[in-house]
A and B are shown apart, each in its own frame.
Chain A
Amino acid sequence: MSTVAAPPRPGTDTDGDAQHRLTEALRRVPAAAWPLVVFALLFLIGGIVRPNLLTLEALWSTAAFAMIVAIASSGQTLAVIQGGIDLSVPNTVTLSALTFLSAVDGLGAFGAFVAAIAAGAVVGLVNGTIIAKLSLSPIVTTIAMNGFLFGVVLLTFDFSQLTDIPRFASDITSAKIAFLGTEVAAVVPVGLGLLLALQALLSWTGWGRALFLVGAAPDVARLAGQPVDRIRITAYMLSGALAAFAGIVIVGFYAQTSTGMGAPYLLGSVAAVVVGGASIFGGRGSMIGTLGGALVLGQVATLVAVANLGVNIQQLIYGVIILFVVALYGRRARA
């Protein structure tokens, strides 16, 4: 047996190197930034087509709608990052909104607010406990929970009585705040603050990092001594509480209630999370990304409305955007 001189290490030729450096540079851009970039492009395109879309007013009106979707999707983002999904968002939204409205007489606005958030957290606690302790699939558990809550909502609340929207709810949502000479709905700064706080929680705390670890590789997390069940349960609790907050925001902003008021957020919340660059299998996602996703979807709605194309076209474009995003970075690992 003989050994020959070592061949050159597997390297790259110069052409490939340049290309490589470019892809490396692009990869270093945080995934969460892309949806925001796309939103900015869409915003500019809107401005080219219709100059009056390139104003702060136009931005604020799209942002207000997008922010509501983003708030409703923030809990979903947490659920998806830890490797699950929360399909009980719609009726948690409804439950919270109605709890808030019916408790406001007895407990006052703040008390009712706390009660509604607590209701959402309890919903999440039950979801999380069933998923973590009984190992039921998150899809099944949260679907069952959604059905359960639908029954509870129908059996508990008298819709004809719940028409008064307390000022507190509109103060944090639809009330206008003067900003740079324009008026912006309160929900924009409120939502932005919430999402940034959540993003900090995800990026810079042990809980946030553990959430990613649990989502990316649950067995690894368990065998590394992470309290996986507790992390899952707290994630679903927070998800439920955030859906509940979304319920109050929605009822405050739109000032109306119905049994189906949460329904658009079933697929809507998942869509915003996916467009925001999260992996549907867990372990990847961000609040900023979800906000970007909601903004992209919101701007598409604005453009479609301005071009008078109708809701069908808007939905069709939503579908195409999701496909596009998924094709970009939702691809399963190379076989």
Chain B
Amino acid sequence: MSAPAIPLGARLRRSPGLVGLKREGAVAPVLAFVLFFVIYVAINPELLTRFQLQTAANLVAPLALVALAQLLIVLVGGIDISVAAVMSLTNVVFATQLESASPLVAGVLAVAVGMGCGLFNGLLSAYGRLPVIAVTLASSFIFGALATEVLDRPGGAVSEGVTLATSGELAPYVPVALVWVLVAAALLWLLLQKTSLGRHIYGAGSNAEGMRAAGLNDRAAQLTAFVLAGGLVALGAILLAGSTATGDPKSGDPYLLNAIAAVALAGASFTGGRGSVVGTICAAAILGLVGNVLFFAGVDSYWQYVVGSVIIVAVVGIPVVVRRLSARVKGASA
């Protein structure tokens, strides 16, 4: 297709994949991830052993899924404060249902509960026209209360089989958790990029008013985003229950700020309409593994909080500074 005269660099710059990443703001996080990965392997070549790959995957997988859920909400122009509570709730539902039901039934039930939570948030936000952040603030109190109602302290009956199915290995060097995440991410990517519904989700965040005036249903798109997000959170909660082998009504708490941070690191626009699945996965991997890198580098693990925050501000902020500076240089030379 492309003429041989065009240099490789220019051809790469024009390739649809890169244009897409750029438009969705995901170039910086992908580059950051590559850099991060190189540093990681340089400090700790052992990462590429079976055991460590598996541990790393288990660490990252729940965060990646919750971050994808948050991404969906950010795409439609909101922010979901209730992800932590939904995660805790679905986590304890899964863990307690395992006492009586088969893992499949418990899993389906947990995902259904997650989607139900999403439906609740989505109906109030999309059809009740209430601000998303306020609705999810309210529902985080409600879902949090329900979680402790279901199970008031860590417990449940997570069997070894469940643990293996969520955080074991599918094949040598292939952690199951990673497979779950990649399958979910691939399906989500297909939905967002290759279907009308996906484009509607981007459109609803970009200009809901305009969509409505054009005769498209922005509210349905918003509602779908919420329901899907609920399902993704539940999946994350199931993986977490598997890898920790317990259900815990507070298990979601650390994920609230981390998931938002991951979406920010992924370069998504918090006014909606812009954000990338690939970038979010990369961002979640970085934030999830900072602690590990520091551990292997022999640094006090408390530094992970400091380093993680600096990475976020740097990756999100540096492109802004570069753009400003280049604008100033251009203005001066004009």
From B131, B141, B313, B320, give the contact of A326 (CB < 8 A). B131
Query: Which chain A residues lie closer than 8 Å to B141 at the CB level?
Result: 267, 271, 315-316, 318-319, 322
Distance between Cα atoms of A69 and B128 in the complex (Å): 29
Which of B6-14, B164-172, B303-311 binds A?
A: B303-311
Query: Which chain B residues lie closer than 8 Å to A134 at the CB level?
Result: 317, 320-321
Query: Which chain A residues lie closer than 8 Å to B129 at the CB level?
Result: 331-332, 335
Distance between Cα atoms of A170 and B127 in the complex (Å): 49
Query: Which chain B residues lie closer than 8 Å to A330 at the CB level?
Result: 130-131, 134
Q: A135-B320, A151-B306 are in contact. Are A323 and B124 (CB under 8 A)?
A: yes
A280 in contact (CB, < 8 A):
yes
Distance between Cα atoms of A129 and B43 in the complex (Å): 34
Distance between Cα atoms of A155 and B302 in the complex (Å): 6
B260 in contact (CB, < 8 A):
yes
Distance between Cα atoms of A332 and B129 in the complex (Å): 6
Q: Mark A262-292, 1 if CB is under 8 A from B, else 0.
A: 0000010011001000001100000000000
Interchain CB contact under 8 A, A139 and B303:
no
Query: Which chain A residues lie closer than 8 Å to B317 at the CB level?
Result: 130, 134, 136
From B134, B145, B148, B307, give the contact of A322 (CB < 8 A). B134
Query: Which chain A residues lie closer than 8 Å to B309 at the CB level?
Result: 144-145, 147-148, 151
From B137, B146, B305, B320, give the contact of A147 (CB < 8 A). B305
Interchain CB contact under 8 A, B138 and A140:
no
Q: A87-B257, A136-B320, A281-B131 are in contact. Are A271 and B137 (CB under 8 A)?
A: yes
Chain B residues in the interface with A (C-beta under 8 A): 79, 81, 124, 128-131, 133-135, 137-142, 144-146, 148-149, 209, 212, 257, 260-261, 264, 270, 300, 302-310, 312-313, 316-317, 320-321
Chain A residues in the interface with B (C-beta under 8 A): 87, 130, 134-137, 139-141, 143-148, 150-152, 154-155, 267, 270-271, 274, 280-281, 311-316, 318-323, 326-327, 330-332, 335
Interchain CB contact under 8 A, B130 and A331:
yes
Query: Which chain B residues lie closer than 8 Å to A314 at the CB level?
Result: 145
Query: Which chain A residues lie closer than 8 Å to B148 at the CB level?
Result: 311-312, 315
Q: In the assembled complex, how far is the CB of residue A322 from the closest CB belonging to chain B, in whole angstroms?
A: 4
Closest to A142 in B: B257
Query: Which chain B residues lie closer than 8 Å to A323 at the CB level?
Result: 124, 130, 135, 138-139
Query: Which chain B residues lie closer than 8 Å to A322 at the CB level?
Result: 134, 137-138, 141
Interface of A is mostly: helix
From A141, A146, A313, give the contact of B257 (CB < 8 A). A146
Interchain CB contact under 8 A, A137 and B137:
no
Query: Which chain B residues lie closer than 8 Å to A313 at the CB level?
Result: 145
Interchain CB contact under 8 A, B316 and A136:
yes
From A140, A145, A281, give the contact of B260 (CB < 8 A). A140
Distance between Cα atoms of A323 and B139 in the complex (Å): 8
- Provide 30 A-B residue pairs closer than 8 Å at the C-beta atoms, listed in order of the A residue: A136-B317, A137-B264, A140-B260, A144-B308, A146-B257, A151-B303, A151-B309, A154-B305, A267-B141, A274-B137, A281-B131, A311-B145, A315-B141, A316-B142, A319-B138, A319-B141, A321-B138, A322-B134, A322-B137, A323-B135, A323-B139, A326-B130, A326-B135, A326-B138, A330-B130, A330-B131, A330-B134, A332-B129, A332-B130, A332-B131
Q: In the assembled complex, how far is the CB of residue B48 from the closest CB belonging to chain A, in whole angstroms?
A: 28
Q: In the assembled complex, how far is the CB of residue A225 from the closest CB belonging to chain B, in whole angstroms?
A: 21
Q: A140-B270, A331-B130 are in contact. Are A319 and B145 (CB under 8 A)?
A: yes
Closest to B148 in A: A312
Closest to B319 in A: A134
Q: In the assembled complex, how far is the CB of residue B24 from the closest CB belonging to chain A, in whole angstroms?
A: 16
